[in-house]
Amino acid sequence: MNTTTVRGTVVIDTEACKGCDLCIDACPPQVLEMTTHEVNTRGYRYPRLLAGCTGCQACAQICPDFVFQVYKYDTPLELPVGEDARQ
Amino acid sequence: MNTTTVRGTVVIDTEACKGCDLCIDACPPQVLEMTTHEVNTRGYRYPRLLAGCTGCQACAQICPDFVFQVYKYDTPLELPVGEDARQ
Amino acid sequence: MSNEWIYLSTHAPPQEPAALVDDFTPSLITQANHHLCPGCGEPIAIRAAMEAIEELELAERTITVFGIGCYTAFAHNLDVEVVQALHGRAPSVATGIKRMLPDGFVLTVQGDGDMVNEGLQEVLHAAARGENITCLLLNNGVFGETGGQMTTTTTLGQRTKTSIEGRDPHQHGHPILLSDLAATLDGAAYVARCAVNNAGNVARTKRYITRAYESQMAGAGFSLVEILTMCPTGWFVDTLEGPDYLQDTLAPVHGIGELKTP
Amino acid sequence: MSNEWIYLSTHAPPQEPAALVDDFTPSLITQANHHLCPGCGEPIAIRAAMEAIEELELAERTITVFGIGCYTAFAHNLDVEVVQALHGRAPSVATGIKRMLPDGFVLTVQGDGDMVNEGLQEVLHAAARGENITCLLLNNGVFGETGGQMTTTTTLGQRTKTSIEGRDPHQHGHPILLSDLAATLDGAAYVARCAVNNAGNVARTKRYITRAYESQMAGAGFSLVEILTMCPTGWFVDTLEGPDYLQDTLAPVHGIGELKTP
Amino acid sequence: MSRVEPANPAQPMSTSAAGERELMLSGIGGQGVQLAAQVIAQGATADGKEVLVFGSYGGMMRGGNTDSTVVISNQPIEAPPVLATTWSAILMHHQYWTPLRERIRDGGLVLVNTSVFEDELDRDRYQVVEVPATDVATDLGNPLLGAMVMAGVYGRTSGLVSLEGLVEGMRRSVPPYRSQLIEANEGALAAGWEMAA
Amino acid sequence: MSRVEPANPAQPMSTSAAGERELMLSGIGGQGVQLAAQVIAQGATADGKEVLVFGSYGGMMRGGNTDSTVVISNQPIEAPPVLATTWSAILMHHQYWTPLRERIRDGGLVLVNTSVFEDELDRDRYQVVEVPATDVATDLGNPLLGAMVMAGVYGRTSGLVSLEGLVEGMRRSVPPYRSQLIEANEGALAAGWEMAA
Amino acid sequence: MSDRALLEGSEAMARAAVAAGCRFFAGYPMTPFTELLEHMAALLPEARGVCMNAESELEAVGMAWGAATTGHLAATGSTGQGLSLMQESLSEITNARLPLVVFNMARGQGDYFQATRGGGHGDYRHIVLAPMDVPEAVELTRLAFELAGQWRTPVMVLGDYYLAHTYQAVSVPAIDGAAPEVPDWALNGSSGGSGAARIISPLGGGVEGEEGFDLGAHYAECAAHIEAMAAGVEPLVDTGFCDDAELVVAAYGSVGKFVRYACLGLRDAGHRVGYVRPITLWPFPSEAVLNAATGSAKVAVYEQNMGQMVDDVRLATLGAVPVEFIGRPSWDHSGFGIGPDINVPDISQRILEALS
Amino acid sequence: MSDRALLEGSEAMARAAVAAGCRFFAGYPMTPFTELLEHMAALLPEARGVCMNAESELEAVGMAWGAATTGHLAATGSTGQGLSLMQESLSEITNARLPLVVFNMARGQGDYFQATRGGGHGDYRHIVLAPMDVPEAVELTRLAFELAGQWRTPVMVLGDYYLAHTYQAVSVPAIDGAAPEVPDWALNGSSGGSGAARIISPLGGGVEGEEGFDLGAHYAECAAHIEAMAAGVEPLVDTGFCDDAELVVAAYGSVGKFVRYACLGLRDAGHRVGYVRPITLWPFPSEAVLNAATGSAKVAVYEQNMGQMVDDVRLATLGAVPVEFIGRPSWDHSGFGIGPDINVPDISQRILEALS
Ligand SMILES: Cc1ncc(C[n+]2csc(CCOP(=O)(O)OP(=O)(O)O)c2C)c(N)n1
Ligand SMILES: Cc1ncc(C[n+]2csc(CCOP(=O)(O)OP(=O)(O)O)c2C)c(N)n1
Ligand code: SF4
Ligand code: SF4
Ligand code: SF4
Ligand code: SF4
Ligand code: SF4
Ligand code: SF4
Ligand SMILES: [Mg+2]
Ligand SMILES: [Mg+2]
């Protein structure tokens, strides 16, 4: 089945997000995507994570509102992608 | 007898002079000389003119106290110099 | 939506063994929540400046002098000692501090309105004196705090609240390239310009700031890091467009790179 | 004395037919007698500035804005219109005048203390704006009026009342070369530096001043002529030594020549 | 202007402020509350009335609170920009309305946006006019027109602004780059005016 | 210092200023008038007296007027820096002395530099001591020492400064780069002191 | 429909300024002055005038100084800190005898002393006008330019955040682009070479046939001119219900409008209170204040500060009536001078306490 | 022979400052302040202190501000124009609660309002001490640093040309190079990283657990502090012959010494005149002035200006005794504030006129 190596992950404080989109372009593997309709209580859209995070911290470094917590896995995971990700 | 060509001359307002010496070096033909003992009412030594002025205005241009009036003779004079100048 | 399932959970730390490499609230910032606008570049720059202090272990000898601008909100939100100066006057205040605490690490945080408009004389005199302090210029080409009016660093053609038709050299004059100007002064040891409009530039910003700090600690003299920051609100553009606007409007004039090193 | 007879009479105009080419009181100066010190370079520079106005026939459209320094004595001694500004503030005042009288000819006369200390920001902002005015800097490297203290243009090693051991870069910082700094600004059209310490330099000074005036009248933008002037009193040297002191102390650092032409 | 006549005791003004009618609007950012206040105020001005408006806006944050005060009168306004009580109110949203609750005077007029508003009203103290403004606006094709609908209703029920005034006021208030909305706004004002019939 | 005690009426000072002795010096630039004033004042200070000096100097011009006022007392000085009258005077030159003429009080003490001074003195109003100061100084090898000679004479005739005081005062007053003159100055002071014998 | 317009205070003042002949403005942004600057920038070009985005307040006041020497009506302004930076120039512009209008959009009322005593060095005063609302601001702006030109002196219009940001329906005279004619003392270069070229200097004019000037004489003239203004400028004041008032409340500016409204309410409730609202703060309407106070049992002064105008009220009454200060500084988080205490109930309460 | 020295006022004040623990000074030359700056530059290095030749007054006061945050006693100063330029900072330094001594070597007495009301924006006051001569200046300089440290506020020493350039025999305490100990509020970087890093700001400290600050609360504290100083700082005054005086003359500073001397002479001549000389100008010694005035028929105020302190005298007496202003601005050509009128006969004459 299709998998991808995942070296890291992030915790996203969606309530702190102001929906500026800066993190989306900043993410090298492009694994961040903004919500299209969902907004936080202040009415802002926020990012969500796809499989493939490298834990590079780019999102955290550029986020003006300190929304990200970044983790690096001690040992990388192999996660299914595409249809295979469906449980 | 020894003469020199004199193209111009100056009138010196000795009372306006503050004895700074700037005109002496400024005079290209070096025909200005400071008094050694004589001073004006304010106690300043002042310049005097030897034969040979060219009317170049250098002294007037550099004098901080506007002491000089400069004339250019319509036709240059020949004035005796050295012992010959003695009447 | 249909393919919601492709997203990973990001609500809590991972179950799997993993190392926390970046926490929500950056080092030496007291609390993450602040009132600056969405997409503002200033918090990014301030984060880099604080992380560099932490990494060089300068926190316990640092005094940061703030100018007046939007960034001033962070004066009361840092875990390093702070002196709040008046608009434009930070370099003189920093001078008084550094002269009395030669072993201290003294920093100023100022904007373009603060440093290049109101305080141009202060920073240039400090640079000429070779004052051993580090000044950070957050340059967004506008007075953000007061609503996006033209500053001396606004580039030609740039539209601001007070240059609606775009900055016109005949009416509004030419922009001042502060770093280039300061670099010509003998007292200036380290001068560099960078930006926070993309991940690479953010990393570079932190690198330059670190070098500036090192040069102060080495007693090399005056150091300045100019950081081009996004101001979507003052530029009247969407937050998403901020980075490109910076690249296309400010960066071509205020060129990025190290202008002077010790 | 023995050879008194060698001197010509200089008490009255010559008997022989002759043309008056330079009168006691220079053009556009009201009266020759003034209270500046013996050997001061400032009256020489001001004479050149006024003669250039006369020669370009600008007298009836000139407004001269004076800063505060010894030269201020001439503010009340000129036959051109004058506005007395505060210490350091002349360029902004000149700006207000020029903007309201675009066809006027607007000049500032300032010293190094006035323009490079108190008013550095004013002149640089005016230059960056490309303000179509001409600024004359009478640079003697000291505050003459207040007794010869160090200014920002004082050269390294130069002894002044406040740098008794000579200017030390660590304690007093480095000199600012104003013309070099201003020349880097896009709004500056004509920038030149000269001196009045000998006849040749006085002539050159008048030449540069004339070019600066012409560039303003051509609407080229900001023009600046820096004139190195003797201040024997502030330098604590004999008037006779003034010119050489200038040559050896100021001129090597504040280099003479045209830095920028339209 | 008699106020700037040289020193001499002015005539007592008795109850010169009696004719003043206050309106306070409350809602959240993005609901068009400030625009509605402007439209009503500009409209009353166009009608030749004396008008005062003082708005506060909770920063740039989307979803922040926003409120505004309008005073309309036939004589020079005596009221200062900040008022303790009001004769009428427009409630676009409940989130930040609590401070306003106590300020509404007995016998006053309250317009409430029933499409969104979720809270109790002291219906015994003042007249409540229920307006499903956001719904009506959505039917008109744009939920953001809700504030315009409210303005229309307010003009008629309060009797302080004519429909012509409101339309003129709206034209004066809409920024050029929004001019494409003028027609829709006019429709919403008219709709509100009709509802109040 | 009782003057800066907190608010309460100070004791009347009766004639506390009675013991004060004033000296005004007048001359032209280059005669050493300011130095003489300093030497006398420094001398009195060294003697433990209360002293005040206020000098004016007519600009940088050589030959400009120069004058100075010195007040000496055994109690804190009540006199302000500018005085209308004086008990004593030292006249080094006549050029600018006119304003001083009227200021000398009856019964005062006037030292005049007869080598240069050319004007009338109201000898009936005050005691005049004639001192050919410049000549004496020239004999001592330097005409510029005239002021020192005068200081010496003044110290003794006025009884306000001791010779030791004058010498000490002179040492304190002479700038370092003039230290080679100290010996000559001391001689001139002594010579003046002797003349007054 | 009338031709009147609903204008924000800042815009109304800007229109009134240009309508009054103002042709030069220079300023630097600062809340609540910023909008006035922006409106001047938008309006002046229409009238063939100049508005400069000065790089700082020091440069703004310098530019206005220069423009004023050309005889065109010039203005500048700022807020708090910015006004402080201008003090050196404001003092010397007065000695240079130049007309200038200064819009002081203050934060709170802590700057009364600076405005009325002159915060700069030296012995000068400015005419100070303090409107309570937008219509009055329009009228006083016109008056400010009139007085500045008439007396050749800086005139300050003292406003605040409330005034800057309140919209009111007002009619402002139309702006005619006509170039206002220029007074004879103005500079334009033309007197150069005449042997008697004009000079405008805070040190005074030159002395005939001499280098330099006579400072003593010039400062004496300046002092005489200040005294002439103190005597010649009719101070404006607004009073109400004072004839039979037990308590007279004094207040100025926007806060004065709150106090005035509070008094209205208290009157309707039957309390014998009156008010006196100085509109001209210098020269202070001492006579009117004394008249208003006379017959009352007490004067209460309400200011949004620690008590500054209260000095002028005491100097006006010199003990004739007891004077009590009932104000206090009041600031919300914004720092713009909006006062949580500045509301009618609180003010009425303080007045009632003073009354009892 | 004694250890006392004959010192020019400027030097005596400089020595007194360093002896009082001053370790930082920054200034820009201006007559008659220049010599004080030059003497500080010569003296401070001896005491391991720092003296900066600031490039302007704005930079001088900024440098002093910074130095003050480190807890070392700092001072600056200037004259007229220079003081005006410092007003913005002097106002905000007060709100930042920093000790600072400001040597205001004024030209004439036209700057009394600026000194006592605060020429800057906002609602602040400085303690102001005005010596009449060199010995008093030495004592008040010491006191100024003491009060600045005690109250954490700027304290101004107000002098003039006469004070700066008069030599008097004085004994100034010796300078000990010992580093004075530093107060606990001072910054040195050490609290960084502790989770509660110190901040010194004119806007006040931060709010626990929140971004930002509470301006309303801070300004209220500042106001309370000013009131505490007004009540807690004991104002100094010098009075003489007031008990049985028909006329009491009020004056301050150097001019006060002329007036004092004139009164001495008039007393000896049998005239029933007394004098009151406020030494502390803020807080003003109102009680002492009232006491001095009580019983007299009139108070005459002599100032070298158009009348400024006269307001404080009137506020102190509130009509209890008639107050007449008998001063006037007086300037010679130098512009340094030397007054041709400032001499004992003229002053005595004015006093006699007021007496009759
Ligand atoms: C002396 C003074 N003038 C004006 C202001 C008003 N003011 C506050 S912030 C600001 C603009 C700041 O611009 P900048 O430094 O570029 O910071 P930004 O807001 O762009 O981040 C101004 C003009 C002030 N606080 N002080
Ligand atoms: C704001 C201000 N600060 C200080 C002064 C005092 N001051 C008068 S002239 C002068 C120095 C002028 O130096 P410069 O401009 O070089 O002229 P110079 O005397 O050397 O010819 C100073 C500091 C002043 N007049 N105004
Ligand atoms: S850490 Fe790097 S890879 Fe992971 S989400 Fe952030 S930017 Fe993308
Ligand atoms: S950068 Fe931060 S604030 Fe902006 S969208 Fe991404 S998470 Fe939200
Ligand atoms: S330059 Fe002029 S002032 Fe100097 S010595 Fe010559 S004549 Fe005299
Ligand atoms: S005119 Fe020329 S040549 Fe004649 S004296 Fe002057 S400098 Fe010499
Ligand atoms: S206005 Fe600009 S600089 Fe200020 S917070 Fe908003 S985005 Fe940032
Ligand atoms: S001090 Fe210097 S600059 Fe001033 S007049 Fe004397 S020589 Fe000229
Ligand atoms: Mg900015
Ligand atoms: Mg100079």
pLDDT tens profile E138-185: 999 988 899 999 999 999 999 999 999 999 999 999 988 888 889 999
Show the tokens assigned to G339.
Answer: 């006062």
Show the tokens assigned to D41.
Answer: 């370079």
C19/F124 Cα distance (integer angstroms)? 107
Which H or E element spans position G240?
strand G237-240
Sheet bearing D188-195, strands edge to edge: D257-260, D188-195, D222-228, D134-139, D105-111, D62-66, D81-84, G199-200
Contacts of E179 (CB under 8 A, 6+ apart): none
- From chain D, pick out residues whose CB is under 8 angstroms from the CB of B19: 38, 239
Please give the pLDDT value at position H250: 98
Please give the pLDDT value at position F16: 54
D176 with C169: Cβ contact below 8 A: no
Residue-level length of chain G: 356
Q: Is C139 helix (H, G, I), strand (E, B) or coil?
A: strand
In this prediction, residues H210-229 reach a mean pLDDT of 90
Residue F178 has pLDDT above 90, yes or no: no
pTM: 0.96
- Give residue H180's pLDDT band: very low, low, confident or very high (50, 70, 90): confident
Whether residue E82 contacts residue G166, with contact meaning beta carbons closer than 8 Å, is answered with no
* Of residues G341, H147, D13, C127, the one with CA closest to residue B73: D13
Please give the pLDDT value at position H1: 36
Question: Any bridge partners for residue G155, and if so which?
Answer: G101, G127
Could you identify the atom of ligand 2 that is nearest to the CA of residue D234?
A: 20
Please give the pLDDT value at position B87: 60
Task: Put residue C42 in one of left, alpha, beta given phi > 0 → left and psi -120 to 50 → alpha.
Answer: alpha
φ/ψ of H53, rounded to 5, equals: -80, 80
H245/H66 Cα distance (integer angstroms)? 50
Residue G213 has pLDDT above 90, yes or no: no
Residue G2 has pLDDT above 70, yes or no: no
Residue B82 has pLDDT above 80, yes or no: no
Residue F80 has pLDDT above 70, yes or no: yes
Distance B31 CA to ligand 6 centre (A): 7
Q: Which of F40, F57, F82, F103 to mutate to test the interface with H (most CBs of H within 10 A)?
A: F82
pLDDT tens profile E65-88: 888 999 999 999 999 999 999 999
Please give the pLDDT value at position C2: 57
Distance A60 CA to ligand 3 centre (A): 8
Question: Is the CB of residue G82 below 6 angstroms from any atom belonging to ligand 1?
Answer: yes
- Give residue G225's pLDDT band: very low, low, confident or very high (50, 70, 90): very high
Which H or E element spans position B33?
strand B32-34
Provide the sign of the torsion angle of the four alpha carbons C72, C73, C74, C75, taken in this order. Answer: positive
Q: In percent, how much of chain B has pLDDT > 90?
A: 79
pLDDT tens profile C73-96: 999 999 999 999 999 999 999 999
In this prediction, residues A5-19 reach a mean pLDDT of 96
Contact status of A63 with chain C (Cβ, < 8 Å): yes
Average pLDDT, rounded, for chain E: 87
Contacts of E63 (CB under 8 A, 6+ apart): A41, A42, A43, E28, E29, E30
Please give the pLDDT value at position H317: 97
In this prediction, residues D209-234 reach a mean pLDDT of 98
Concatenated DSSP letters for H168-221?
A: EEE--PPPP-PPPPPPTT---STTTTSSS--EE-TT-PBPTTSSSB-HHHHHHH
* Of residues E18, H123, A70, the one with CA closest to residue G119: H123
- Residues contacting ligand 8 via CB (< 6 Å): D 36-37, 40, 42, 70, 140, 144-145, 231-234
Distance A70 CA to ligand 4 centre (A): 14
Residue D262 has pLDDT above 90, yes or no: yes
Please give the pLDDT value at position H301: 98
H74/H67 Cα distance (integer angstroms)? 6
D174 with C130: Cβ contact below 8 A: yes
F108/F21 Cα distance (integer angstroms)? 10
Give me the amino acid identity at E117.
F
* Of residues G175, G194, G166, G187, the one with CA closest to residue G258: G166
Question: Is the CB of residue A56 below 6 angstroms from any atom belonging to ligand 3?
Answer: yes
Distance A23 CA to ligand 4 centre (A): 6
pLDDT tens profile G292-310: 999 999 999 999 999 999 9
Residue E5 has pLDDT above 90, yes or no: no
- Give residue B69's pLDDT band: very low, low, confident or very high (50, 70, 90): very high
Please give the pLDDT value at position H208: 65
Contact status of H139 with chain F (Cβ, < 8 Å): yes
Please give the pLDDT value at position E8: 35
Residue G245 has pLDDT above 80, yes or no: yes
Q: Tell me if the bond preceding G32 is cis, omega within 30° of 0.
A: yes
Which residue is closest to C147 within chain E, CA to CA? E60
Residue H218 has pLDDT above 80, yes or no: yes
pLDDT tens profile H8-53: 999 999 999 999 999 999 999 999 999 999 999 999 998 999 999 9
G1 with E52: Cβ contact below 8 A: no
Average pLDDT, rounded, for chain G: 95
G55 with C149: Cβ contact below 8 A: no
Please give the pLDDT value at position E14: 42
Residue H356 has pLDDT above 90, yes or no: no
Please give the pLDDT value at position H24: 98
Residue C101 has pLDDT above 80, yes or no: yes
Average pLDDT, rounded, for chain H: 95
D146 with H30: Cβ contact below 8 A: yes
Residue G95 has pLDDT above 50, yes or no: yes
Contact status of C240 with chain G (Cβ, < 8 Å): no
Q: How far is F145 from chain B (nearest CA, A)?
A: 19
Which residue is closest to D51 within chain G, CA to CA? G193
pLDDT tens profile H74-102: 999 999 999 999 999 999 999 999 999 99
Please give the pLDDT value at position E1: 32
Question: Is the CB of residue D45 below 6 angstroms from any atom belonging to ligand 2?
Answer: no
